[in-house]
Each structure stands twice: as C-alpha cells, then as structure tokens.
Amino acid sequence: MARVKTTLVSWEDVVRWSRGLASKIKASGYMPDVIIAVARGGYVPARLVCDFLTINNLVSIQSQHWTEAAKAEERAIIKYPYKIDLSDSKALLVDDIVDTGESLLLAKNYIQKNWNPSEVRIAVLQWISSAAKFRPDYYFMEVKEWVWFQYPWTRLEDTYQFFKRILSEESKYGKVEWDFNGLVKKFVEWYELDVGEEYFKDAIGLLMEDGILRKENGKYVYLGSK
C-alpha cells in the first residue's frame, strides 16, 4: 500500500477537466470579466478556462500553503502582494484544487479587500470535500477521500521532494546507499507512481546538485537533507 495516496495526471486530463469546468461555469450564467489564476497551480487551468470561455483578461496572485509535495506549511500566505483596480468587474478565481482551501480563501479575501471587484467566485478542477473548509462555486470533480494529484506542472518538483522524503526515512533504518533501479523501485513502492525515467533521472540529478546525494563507485550515497 502506498505511503501517500497519489494519482498521476496527464496533460490530456487537464484539458478535459478544464473544458468541463468551463462548461459548468457557462451553464450557471456567470460570465466573468477577468480570470485570476492562483499561482502556481492555477496558471494552466486558468488559461484553459479563458480559452473555453473566450475571456481575454487574465491576471494572477500567488497564495500558497504547500511548501513541499503533500506537506503543508503552517499557514497560507500571499507572496508579492500588489493592487489593481477591478471596480465593477466580475472575477473568477481559478486554481487546480481545493484541499484545505486556506490559500484560496486568503486569496479571495485579499482580492475583495484590495482589488474591489463587484463579485468573486472560485473555480477549481478538484474539490476534496472531506478536507476542504468550504465548497467552491464551481468544481469539475469532487474527491471524497484525500489524495495528492500529481499534476504535470509539478512532476519534477514532486519527484524531487518525494525522493527526499524516501531517503530521509530510509536512512533512519541504515539504508544510505542505492543504485538507480533501487531508488525507482522504492519510489513506486511508496507512491505507486511511475513518472518516467527522464523525471527520475532529473530528480536524482537535482539531489546531487543540492548535495543530498553523491555518486560513489556506481552507487548513490545519501548525505542527508539540506
């Protein structure tokens, strides 16, 4: 059984889900004047929703809660706060997922207070109803049990962080030396994901660049997390 329940998301999934999300928004009769992407996960869905709703106005805001894959920071924060004038404009705030929902609520409150839109609604690809603190106005998919969606725009980042977690935990039991196949096997065992050889190699390369792994005599040696 996987240590963290995950599901691998393809680019085709994202396009299909975004089209379905846009259809629900359109059917509701709500036509925003501007779409606001929540950086970073909301960039791609927001741009696709713009396309499917034929909306030209797209801005962004960075509100974040997750600092590592499947590991939450203590509180959500707005990074790089700024002000724009959305007076008399209807806005649609778009993100990839509502898990706890704290980062989205923070972004919505900031926008209402500082950007002055006439209305703000929230749209996401996935709503984890068992964990979220609110129900978004629009969602393509309700997820009733918590799962980490491994989106294509975070594939390398997540693979890197997942490897770090594996290495840290396994080192507690004395396992500090690995070959490539052993690392991949352990990754698939923990997360039941195969992200592909290129991503595995790229992530291991980054771990070496960061001084977390060192290659000696054909083996990868764990040096500790930075």
Instruction: Show me where the domains of the chain are located.
Output: 9-147, 152-222
Predicted confidence (pLDDT) per residue in 86-131, tens digit: 999 999 999 999 988 999 999 999 999 999 999 999 999 999 999 9
Of 70, 71, 48, nearest in space to 58 by CA: 48
pTM (predicted TM-score): 0.91
Of 14, 13, 53, nearest in space to 35 by CA: 53
Beta bridge partners of 68: 71
Q: Mean pLDDT over residues 46-54, rounded?
A: 98
Residue type for 179, please?
D
Fold of domain 9-147: Rossmann fold (3.40.50)
* Overall CATH class of domain 152-222: mainly alpha
